[in-house]
């Protein structure tokens, strides 16, 4: 760190992304990417002609993609905001709406606290219940920006749309941001509520269920006024934040909806199989609506299991946070990958007994 850095950034604790090993020899179950490639029509859209068009700036309004997404959800194009990954939207929301502070669960996506730190937003972490469920009443009348991942990460547990609506009703003067990164794997979206709640911002990503983590594409669905706020910040930072190829791939992705629904169905099926197998091995498995399982073995600690799996070239996630250090978050891969994972776990447990 140089002596030139602004004082408020010197103490900033940045986010630590999951490992991205350079050699492809690992079974990667650590960052909730899809094990499937994008739909064939999406990869086919990457033509030489499109590569040559990279000499031109992209459309800063992203009009064509906004219209496709608006059509898919039955909202207006003015209700859609596009971003370079959904993390940018979370960042902008803390910047824009965090003036009187923010509230989110103690166990959730680690980036929320980082964005709060970045923008000097004081935040309160509401402890999840003992079973990791969210108590909606903790979020009533908070007079702060409320941020909830639904399904939550890394637990995979969902809050009902009814509970989200209660939270919206009791925080009319502040924005409630619902991060739906994992909603396509079994959760229920609350975006239809944007018609009735001017304070609701729903955040989505193409990174997980749309097999496009490397493309960096996220979007928000919300009332036109909130979308306008985000646009204002975008045009004050980087109007060309989404590159031409990603916009193009995004459009092809929306048109291949059937492919992605099928792949999500496959993840849900393999998730159930993996959960059953882990329970047989004595694991506690948190019920998941996401493309990962949050699991704890009574026989081996979270860090020890992470290390033993890594030796076998399988990557899962382990967190240092006290309350969840006995757990691992395991992304659902293909049926073959999960078979290899379960066999490795069996071997590891046999070795320690």
- What residue ranges bind ligand PLP (CB under 6 A)? 32, 85-87, 109, 149, 153, 179, 181, 205, 207, 213, 218
Provide the 3-class DSSP secondary structure of residue 28.
Answer: strand
CB 338 within 8 A of CB 332: yes
Q: Which is nearer to ligand PLP, 34 or 207 (CB)?
A: 207
CB of 219 to ligand PLP, least distance (A): 9
Closest CB to ligand PLP among residues 58, 250: 250
Q: 220 or 345: whose CB is closer to ligand PLP?
A: 220
- Longest distance between any two alpha carbons in the chain, whole Å: 62
Nearer to ligand PLP, 85 or 117 (CB): 85
Task: Tell me, rounded to whole angstroms, the distance of Cα 336 from its chain centroid.
Answer: 24
Of 294 and 342, which has the nearer Cβ to ligand PLP?
294
* Cβ at position 80, least distance to ligand PLP in Å: 15
Burial zone of 324 (CB within 10 Å; 0-12 exposed, 13-18 middle, 19+ buried):
buried
Nearer to ligand PLP, 17 or 76 (CB): 17
Calpha distance 55→244 (Å, rounded): 10
Nearer to ligand PLP, 149 or 254 (CB): 149
Q: How far is the CB of 4 from ligand PLP (least distance, A)?
A: 29
Residue (179 or 345) nearer to ligand PLP, CB:
179
318 and 330 in contact (C-beta within 8 Å)?
no
Q: Least distance in Å: CB of 334 to ligand PLP?
A: 19
Buried b (16+ CB within 10 A) or exposed e, 224-235: eebbebbbebbe
Element (H, E) at 159: none
Q: How far is the CB of 247 from ligand PLP (least distance, A)?
A: 15
Reduce the DSSP state of residue 314 to 3 states and report it.
Answer: strand
Q: Can the peptide bond before residue 219 be classed as cis, meaning omega within 30 degrees of 0?
A: no
CB of 32 to ligand PLP, least distance (A): 6
Is residue 213 exposed (0-12), middle (13-18) or buried (19+ Cβ within 10 Å)?
A: middle
CB of 249 to ligand PLP, least distance (A): 14
Q: Using alpha carbons, select from 5, 31, 27 the residue that is nearest to residue 16.
A: 31
Q: Which is nearer to ligand PLP, 218 or 302 (CB)?
A: 218
Minimum gap (Å) between residue 349 Cβ and ligand PLP:
28
Residue nearest to ligand PLP (CB): 85
Contact 115, 104 (CB under 8 A): no
How near is the Cβ of 319 to ligand PLP at its closest, in Å?
13
Of residues 217, 282, 223, 281, the one with CA closest to residue 252: 217
CA-CA-CA-CA torsion sign (125, 126, 128, 130): positive
Contact 302, 319 (CB under 8 A): yes
Q: How far apart are CA 345 and CA 293, in angstroms?
A: 14
């Amino acid at each position: 760190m140089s002596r030139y850095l602004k004082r408020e950034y010197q103490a900033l604790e940045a986010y630590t992304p999951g490992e991205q090993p350079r050699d492809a020899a690992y079974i990667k179950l650590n960052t909730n990417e899809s094990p499937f490639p994008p739909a064939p029509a999406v990869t086919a859209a990457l033509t030489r002609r499109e590569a040559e068009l990279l000499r031109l700036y992209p459309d800063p309004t992203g009009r064509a993609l906004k219209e496709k997404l608006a059509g898919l959800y039955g909202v207006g194009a003015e209700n859609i905001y596009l971003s370079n990954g959904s993390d940018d939207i979370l960042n902008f929301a803390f910047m824009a709406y965090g003036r009187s502070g923010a509230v989110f669960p103690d166990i959730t996506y680690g980036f929320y606290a980082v964005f709060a730190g970045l923008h000097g937003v004081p935040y309160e972490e509401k402890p999840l219940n003992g079973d990791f469920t969210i108590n909606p009443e903790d979020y009533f009348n908070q007079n702060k920006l409320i941020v909830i991942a639904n399904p939550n990460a890394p637990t995979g547990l969902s809050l009902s749309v009814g509970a989200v609506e209660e939270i919206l009703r009791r925080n009319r003067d502040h924005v409630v941001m619902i991060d739906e990164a994992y909603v396509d794997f079994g959760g229920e979206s609350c975006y239809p509520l944007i018609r009735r709640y001017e304070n609701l911002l729903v955040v989505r990503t193409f990174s997980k269920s749309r097999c496009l983590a490397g493309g960096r594409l996220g979007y928000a669905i919300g009332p036109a006024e909130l979308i306008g706020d985000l646009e204002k910040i975008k045009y004050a930072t980087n109007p060309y934040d989404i590159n031409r190829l990603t916009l193009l791939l995004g459009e092809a992705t929306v048109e291949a909806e059937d492919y992605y629904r099928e792949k999500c169905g496959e993840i849900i099926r393999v998730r159930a199989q993996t959960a059953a197998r882990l329970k047989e091995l004595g694991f506690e498995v948190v019920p998941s609506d996401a493309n990962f399982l949050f699991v704890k073995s009574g026989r081996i600690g979270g860090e020890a299991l992470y290390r033993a799996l890594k030796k076998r070239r399988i990557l899962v996630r382990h967190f240092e946070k006290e309350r969840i250090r006995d757990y691992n978050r395991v992304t659902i891969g293909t049926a073959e990958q999960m078979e290899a994972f379960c066999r490795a776990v069996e071997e590891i447990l046999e070795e320690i007994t």
